[in-house]
Amino acid sequence: MKGKNANVGIVIVSHSPLVAKGTADMVRQMVGESVPLSWCGGNAEGGLGTNAAGILEAIEAAWSDHGVAVFVDLGGAETNSEMAIEMLGEPRSGMVVVCNAPLVEGAVIAAAEASGGAPLAKVVATAEELSPS
């Protein structure tokens, strides 16, 4: 039986709340409820940007004992995601990976892989195959 924590979780981080939510909506439509999913967009004041505290909340919301793959749109999102992961502390921080993959396509393909029960390493590798060399 698949529960909330049965598959790798997916977190989407964008400088734009609309982009983050839209990407999460697309992922949810593709895989249904089979994958823990959360998103974070915008800075703490609601404008464009990202913030580590909000990303940490998103990771917690999509937490899976099988790990969490984080997808980001720009460099600042990656930096703040790495800070949020550090805030988790060990051993959980070792179970979260920021993927080097396109935001939308990467999140969708990773969620599809996760929905089939793939481990975190396979979910990340599949998404990262989409990155230009």
Instruction: Just list the catalytic residues.
Output: 15
CA angle 13, 19, 125 (to 5 degrees): 50
Secondary structure (DSSP) of 84-114 = HHHHH-TTGGGGEEEE-S-HHHHHHHHHHHH
Q: Check: CB of residue 84 under 8 Å from CB of residue 59.
A: yes
Measure the CA–CA gap between 14 and 28, rounded to whole angstroms.
17
